[in-house]
Every structure is written in structure tokens, then in C-alpha cells.
Structure 1
Amino acid sequence: MGRSAAALLLAAVLGVGCASDAPPTVLDQTTRYGQPMSLPAPDTDGSVPLEQTLGQRRSQREYRERPLPLATVGQLFWAGQGITDAVGRRTSPSAGARYPLELFAVTPTTFIHYLPDGHRIEQRPDDTTLPALADVAFGQSFVSDAPVVLMIAGVQARTEAEYGAVAGDLMNREAGHAAQNILLQATALGLAVVPVGGFDPSDVARLAALPPGHEVLYLIPVGYPR
């Protein structure tokens, strides 16, 4: 990385700490899977202390064959990218408030896209993506064993418009922020969860029929522990 790019990256990373003081960038939602529907309001007054959640977090790969309620999936979405004030700031920080991340969930029957504005989702029928995810995740069978796999994707162009060549680095960092929020929320809910980075991003994007420009950054299988 050249000196100028490194300086820009440092400025952008420092800017993340100030992102809460800047109004979020208004960006169009580029994926449309049907009529949006509202989720139950997220629980913002949980009973499990943060320190206890941190101490209990573990990577778990065995799940019961029991579906997660939609409200629970919505709570995990909110933890990753939920809007937390009237201005539109979110649960995880974003350089320049560009918010390049998109959250999805894959179930045995449905593909779901989270819309942070209004805490809503849109969904389409899909009974093929979840069974095939293990194959594009290099044969990790537990990926397809989970009742839900959350997917974090990024649209680099959103951050690139402000930060140029370092946009990819910033987007990847933001995916880490959101993923950790989701892992901790799942732990607080008593769920089994694990972050997965071993997969072919292009194959996952093709399998999920994501629009051009969406790069898959994380898969997060989650379910009730066995």
C-alpha cells in the first residue's frame, strides 16, 4: 500500500470513531424480493450482561432441527445493522456513515433481505440455497445443518465513492463489526452460532442470486444448540 493510500486509510479508520456525529448517508436499497413486511420490535433491554455474554461466546457447529422464530432472526439482524436513533445511525459503525453492508438470511424455505429502515424484511421462496451452501463452503456440512444462515454482503461502491482505493479494507472491517454484534446477540439469546469465512464468495453470490456489486463477506450459521 502506498503512503498516500495508507494515510487515507488511517484517516478513514479514525473517522469511524466519529461516524456517530455524522448523519448517515441516504442510499437506495438495491435488492427487491417482494412486498416489505415489518418485524416485531427488537428487544433493546436484554437481561444478560455484556461481560457475561463475552465470556460465554463460543463457536458452535451443532444445531437442533428446530426453526428459529422470525422475531429471533429479526433480533439478530438488528444487532448487526439495526437503526438506533431518529437520524439513522446503526448498531455498528461505518466509515463516513456510508453503510455498505447488506444482511440476508437463508432458511430451508426462504431467502430474506433485511431493511434497516423501519426494521423490515423482504423475502422470496427459496428451498435450494441452504442445502447447497455447504458445497460452496468447501464441504463444511454444518453450514447447511443450521436452520438459518445469516449472510453479510458488502457493496463496495458505496464506500468507494467517499474513500476510493481503501474502500475494500474499510468494508471488510465493518463486516467484522457487524459479525461480532451478531455473535454476541446470538450468545445472549442462548443460540449456537459460528462465523464462517471459508467459502467461495462468487459461488455464494451466484447461488443466492445477489445483484451485481454485492460481495459476500461472512456466513453465520445459527440455531438452537444440540
Structure 2
Amino acid sequence: MEIQLPDIEEIKLEDVLIKRRSVREYCSSPLTLRELSHILFAAYGVTDERGFKTVPSAGATYPLEIYVNVRDVVGVEEGVYKYIPERHSIVRILDEEVGHELALAALKQMFIAIAPIVLIIAANYERTTRVYGDRGFRYVHMEVGHVAQNVYLMATSLGLGTVSVGAFYDNEIREILKIKEYPLLLMPVGRKIE
């Protein structure tokens, strides 16, 4: 089943840059489909008919895949979804949400289990290294940084919080999600506790 996501609205960047912070505590309230849509678009959405995305990519190789663990989004069933940037949609790949398992694999950072959504940014290095050789590994890592900053800024603009989590056991994350790509970053997103 594929879920079409809502269109994107404009934001004022200057305000967002000033307010951006890492957030590790989240309220128990759910996110909306609109908020999920904006977060995923910021991460890796397609911005024109040539297929360019919201982040720069060496040679436009776009080696990343964006997965999202949905625990609590209004109108979206729990589970793990893969983001399809070309259609700005998500497709469920696991019927169960795995936030608790992700938190344990991330050295017991349990705030991950509480977040309504967790982005998992994973890489297919071959897309970039076949063009740039070993230098491509660096380019992929730069790209994941661009994605993370976009997610931070979009979350902030929506009044949400997030944090980049890089401390986890790679193979455990791959096994939990049943994916072949290499996980590079987890980003829980939720409403900040005021």
C-alpha cells in the first residue's frame, strides 16, 4: 500500500536557523501526515523534473535511502516505511513499528523509542563509488550531513524537535529493518516538551 503525502508549504529560513537545537525529549502527542510529509520532503524530496533533490549529491548519484519508523502519526498505520521521493509517497515495508528495537541497537538511547517517528538514513555506496571510486565514500557522508541539516531545519520550522544519532550497531539496525543498505544516521522526530 502506498500513501501519497500532502504538498509542501513555504517557510522563512532565518527564523529557523536561529531556533535550531538538538532535542532528545518528546511529548506523547502524535504527528500529522502534513508534518511527516514536510520532514520527508526536506530530507530527500525531488525539487524539479530532472530529479534533483533537496540536497546536493556528487554527480547526482543520490546514494541514500530514507526509511521512517512510524509509531504515532495520525492516519498512518504503525510500521516501517520507505520514502519514495519521485512520487513523494511512503510504502510500508514492515507491519510493526520498531522504535524500541532501534533504541536498544542505538546503545539504549531510549528517547528513540518514544519519538512518534524515527528517520533511518541508509546508504547504497555503490551508486556513488562506481563513479568516483573510494572518494565516493566521502561524498556519501557529506550527503547524509546535508539531509540531517534539512531535517533539523524543517523540524524546527514545524515546532518539532530532532537529533542526529550516529551511535548504533550497524548490523543490528540492518537486521531490524531487513535492509541491504548501510545505516548512517537515525533521527527521531517529535513534539518538544515545553
**Normalised TM-score (structure 2):** 0.92
Aligned to 2:5: 39
Q: What CA distance in whole angstroms lies between the structure 2 residues aligned with 1:112 and 1:68?
A: 15
Deviations 1:98-137 (A, max 9, x none): 0001111102321111111121111144335111111100
Match of 1:182 among 151, 164, 174: 151
Q: What CA distance in whole angstroms lies between the structure 2 residues aligned with 1:216 and 1:148?
A: 16
Aligned to 2:167: 198
2:152 touches 2:161 (CA, 8 Å); kept in 1? no
Q: What CA distance in whole angstroms lies between the structure 2 residues aligned with 1:119 and 1:77?
A: 8
Aligned to 1:15: none
Q: What CA distance in whole angstroms lies between the structure 1 residues aligned with 2:158 and 2:34?
A: 12
Q: What CA distance in whole angstroms lies between the structure 2 residues aligned with 1:215 and 1:88?
A: 23
Aligned positions, number: 187
Mapping of residues 1-226 of structure 1, within 5 Å: 35-43=1-9, 45-46=10-11, 49-108=12-71, 109-210=78-179, 212=180, 214-226=181-193
Q: 1:122 aligns to what SS in structure 2? A: strand
Deviations 1:19-64 (A, max 9, x none): xxxxxxxxxxxxxxxx333211122x22xx2122111111111111
Amino acid at match of 1:92: V
Deviations 1:58-89 (A, max 9, x none): 11111111221122112111001111111111
2:100 touches 2:110 (CA, 8 Å); kept in 1? no
Q: 1:113 aligns to what SS in structure 2? A: strand
Gaps of 5+ in 1: 1-34
Aligned to 2:75: none
The RMSD of aligned alpha carbons is 1.2
Deviations 1:160-189 (A, max 9, x none): 110111121111110001110011000010
Gaps of 5+ in 2: 72-77
Q: What CA distance in whole angstroms lies between the structure 1 residues aligned with 2:33 and 2:157?
A: 17
Q: 2:87 aligns to what SS in structure 1? A: coil
Amino acid at match of 1:205: R
Q: 1:216 aligns to what SS in structure 2? A: strand
- The structure having more radius of gyration, on CA atoms, is 1
Amino acid at match of 1:199: F
Amino acid at match of 2:96: D
Percent of paired sites with the same residue: 37
